[in-house]
Amino acid sequence: MDLETLLSFKWSIMTPEFIILGVITLLSLLDLFMAKSVNRKLLGWLGLAGILGALISLLSLMGNGPETILYDTFRLDSFAIAFKLLLLIGAALVFLIAISYEPKEGLNEYRGEFYYLFLAALLGAMMMSSSGDLITLFIGLELLSISSYILAGIRKKHSGSNESAMKYVVNGGISTSITIFGMSYVYGLTGTTNLLDMARHVITLADSQHIYLLGLAFFMIFVGLSFKVATAPFHMWAPDVYQGAPTPVTAFLSVVSKTAGFILIVRILMVIFYNIPTEGLGSMPLLIKVQDYIAFLAAATMIIGNVVALRQKNIKRLFAYSSIAQAGYLLVVVASMSAFLFDTLWFYLGAYLFMNLGAFAIIQLITQKTGSEDIAEFAGLYRKAPILAIAMAVFILSLAGIPGTAGFIGKLNIFMGALVVEPAHYVLVSIMIATTVVSYFYYFGVMVQMFFRPAANDEVKFKLPAGLGVVIGVCVFATILFGVAPNIALDFLQGNFNQFSDFFQ
């Protein structure tokens, strides 16, 4: 590629990514040359400023038609912008949680790495949302994954953190190898790595052996990505990693990483496999044929996540199984394949972002103060810190799907999407309702501790850091606002993204 061609690309559509990349470079250089005695929380605030700058630049790109550069490997469409908004907002809140993180053994020596590895993972997720090519998708996925492996084990003197990183690396390596093997089949049959070119090519395939190989590729890619979003039975890594990783990393994995995983699932499945005819031209697409398999996986994930959560005593482990159950609800959206798929997925991921990150901010505060992650440490929280208890109650009620919260509206959208299609997914919706009721037992168990159990030590006072205070305040406000007036978010989505009509262009 000559210089003239390189300069001809419209690089402005990558401004948010360039800002994040520039801040990563700046933080790594500052961390390298700063004296060890200097508190590196300053780097955290610089990183947060970079995320906010990227968010502002992304908002300025809204309203543009679908644009591509680098031979269609990077595309900026409505889907990319909408989900990058979630990624950047989630990353900003995680950064505020990370700045306030103070483990017992100290973190200042590695705090600089802590921040720019978060940004590197965010950059990978953003690249995934804008990728129009299997190669860039895979590079974005690995940038996110490798950064997450290191972040999970950043507490080098903590055995739980070391164990979580090891398990995450092993399971992540397995999932990556399965995913790339499935991708290689699709590439071999189409002769291209560009997603839209693949979609145009697979429509013409009529050989039953080719269709069989593409079906095999679908299952390998779907299984590999199921590891990434922790759906059953590929969830085995999540509880141990969530428990052992630093709390900000757990929050990041549960929200930002999960959002990126579903972005990747939708990008690949909807672009490539929705167009594959199963019995010649004009026949039912492959993705519709395998709906029942996706639905089965969604049902298993909801059941396992909610039932196993009933026996958990560690709060981070409980939220790990809660996260697995939430992945099951999101798979219902994918399995339904309704006309509202993108809208429902976007709204629920947004609602989950606020209610889960708010809960993790409170979990970090309490576990650091008490030195324990046992659910019993929440006993008597209403008497010691009533505002924190009420905020945590809001997040728990939203996670449980109680009316008046964003979580309820999100679940209602999923129900409606699964029922408006033909044929309607009555069994899947029934399982979702039943498992949601099961979730009340462990969610309300935390509330019982906060409001109805006596505190072991009433004299413990919680000093709320400014960063955590902002996270909790923003998350409570958003959880209630989008529960009472969901039309604000939905009108924003409809008014700015034109129903994602440019997704296949």
- Residues 6+ positions from 372 with CB-CB distance below 8 Å: none
Q: Tell me the C-alpha to C-alpha distance, in Å, between residue 439 and each of 295, 417, 430.
A: 20, 22, 14
325 in any annotated domain: yes
Q: 335 and 213 share a domain?
A: no
Tokens read off for 171: 């399971």
CB 281 within 8 A of CB 206: yes
For 78, the 3-state DSSP assignment is helix
For the record, the structure tokens of 180 come out as 């790339």
Residue 314 CB: number of other CB atoms within 10 A?
Answer: 16
HSE value, Cβ hemisphere, 13 Å, CA-based, for 449:
17
Q: Are residues 281 and 313 in the same domain?
A: no
Task: Write out pLDDT tens, residues 276-329.
Answer: 877 665 567 788 888 889 999 999 999 999 999 999 999 999 999 999 999 999
In eight-state DSSP terms, residue 254 is I
> Within this chain, do residues 277 and 397 fall inside the same structural domain, yes or no?
no
**53 CB-contact burial (10 Å; exposed 0-12 / middle 13-18 / buried 19+):** middle
Residue 106 is predicted with a pLDDT of: 67
Co-location of 334 and 269 in the same domain = no
Q: Is 295 inside a domain boundary?
A: no
Are both 159 and 34 inside the same structural domain? yes
My answer on whether 331 and 425 are in the same domain is yes
Can you say how many angstroms the Cα of residue 185 is from the centroid of all Cα atoms in its chain?
27
* pLDDT of the residue at 399: 94
Q: Which of 468, 480, 429 is nearest to 102 (CA)?
A: 468
* Domain shared by 347 and 221, yes or no: no
Secondary structure class of 109 (helix, strand, coil): coil
Q: Identify the pLDDT of residue 385.
A: 86
pLDDT at residue 37 in the model: 78
**Which residue has tokens 């997914």?**
425
C-beta separation of 154 from 113 below 8 A: yes
Q: Say yes or no: 176 and 51 in one domain.
A: yes
| 236/175 Cα distance (integer angstroms) | 12
User: What's the structural domain count of the chain?
Assistant: 2
Burial of 23 (0-12, 13-18, 19+ CB in 10 A): buried
Indicate whether 2 belongs to any domain: no
Q: Which residues, 6+ apart, have CB-to-CB distance to 349 below 8 Å?
A: 83, 86, 258, 259, 262, 330
Q: Which of 450, 477, 469, 262 is nearest to 348 (CA)?
A: 262
The b/e string for 233-268 (b: 16+ C-beta within 10 A; e otherwise) is ebbebbbbbbbbbbbbbbbbbbbbbbbbbbbbbbbb
As to burial, measured by CB atoms within 10 angstroms (0-12 exposed, 13-18 middle, 19+ buried), residue 203 is middle
**4 in a structural domain:** no
242 and 344 both lie in a single domain: no
pLDDT-flagged residues of the chain (< 70): 1-2, 105-108, 279-283, 456-460
> Dihedrals φ, ψ of 466, to 5°?
-60, -40
Q: What is the maximum span of the chain, computed from C-alpha positions, in angstroms?
A: 73
- Provide the pLDDT for residue 31: 87
Reading the block at residue 504, the tokens are 């296949």
- Kindly tell me the burial class for residue 281, based on how many C-beta atoms sit within 10 Å of its own C-beta (0-12, 13-18, 19 or more): exposed
| pTM for the model | 0.94
- 3-class SS at 404? coil
Query: What kind and span of H or E run contains 58?
Result: helix 41-60
Same domain, 231 and 148: yes
Last residue of a domain, one of 289, 318, 343: 289
Q: Give dist(CA 181, CA 185) in Å, integer.
A: 7
Asked if residue 302 is part of any domain, the answer here is: no
**Any domain includes 97:** yes
List of residues 6+ apart from 220 with CB closer than 8 A = 178, 179, 181, 182, 185
Q: Which domain holds residue 473?
A: 308-500
By CB neighbour count within 10 A (0-12 exposed, 13-18 middle, 19+ buried), where does 42 fall?
A: middle
The residue from 238, 258, 289 where one domain ends is 289
**Does residue 316 fall inside a structural domain?**
yes
Q: Last residue of some domain: 231, 259, 289?
A: 289
| 227 in the same domain as 120 | yes
315 and 446 in contact (C-beta within 8 Å)?
yes
Q: Does residue 303 belong to any structural domain of this protein?
A: no
User: Residues 326, 358: one domain?
Assistant: yes
